[in-house]
Structure 1
Amino acid sequence: MIEPRLPRYHSGQRVKAAIDLLNDGSFPDASPEECLVSVGHVGEIVQIGRHTEANLFIYMVDFGKQLVVGCIEEEISAF
């Protein structure tokens, strides 16, 4: 059984990209593997979801210019 835990980050928190965030196919207007957000770019968490099977929190991060990207904890860090 997977133990429940709290998310590392919270809604409204400013975070920065810990790695280059590449298009995984979620953005049809961008080419596959195109860099959507460069490392160090700052955004704000607007929503937090959870992938229950993988026991992962998914953070919807608004990086501006109408670019909201789903990130896991290893892809972002506190600002």
Structure 2
Amino acid sequence: MMFDQRLPKYEWGMKVKTLIELRNDGSYPEALPDALLVDLGTIGEIVQVGSHTETNTPIYLVEFNERLVIGCLEEEIEPV
């Protein structure tokens, strides 16, 4: 099934805050499954914008606290 290309709303370098708690979905083997990685309202910076290839959904790599980079969906973040 092919999806229409969805253009990203946000750009590299933007400051954003989380709209939800970000938990480990298995992407971080050093953290327990479902462990809290970033709390609600935490501010980070978009360091890369990509796309989920199967659904053409924008994915934002957001750096939090200068140490943790997490892939986020548009619904999980907003500009500050």
TM-score (normalised: structure 2): 0.91
Structure 1 unaligned segments of length 5 or more: list them.
none
Secondary structure (helix, strand or coil) at the match of 1:74 reads: helix
Specify the code of the residue in structure 2 equivalent to 1:8: K
Instruction: Tell me the equivalent position of 2:32.
Output: 31
C-alpha RMSD of matched pairs (Å): 1.2
> What count of residue pairs does the alignment treat as equivalent?
79
Q: Compute the displacement of 1:65 (Å).
A: 4.1
**Distance in 1, Cα, partners of 2:73 & 2:6:** 15
Specify the code of the residue in structure 1 equivalent to 2:62: V
Asked if the contact 2:3/2:55 (under 8 Å) is kept, the reply is no
Deviations, residues 22-73 of structure 1 (Å, cap 9, x unaligned): 0001111110000100010000000011013112111000002410000011
Identity, % of aligned pairs? 53
Q: Which runs of 4+ in 1 moved over 3 A?
A: none
Structure 2 unaligned segments of length 5 or more: list them.
none
TM-score (normalised: structure 1): 0.92
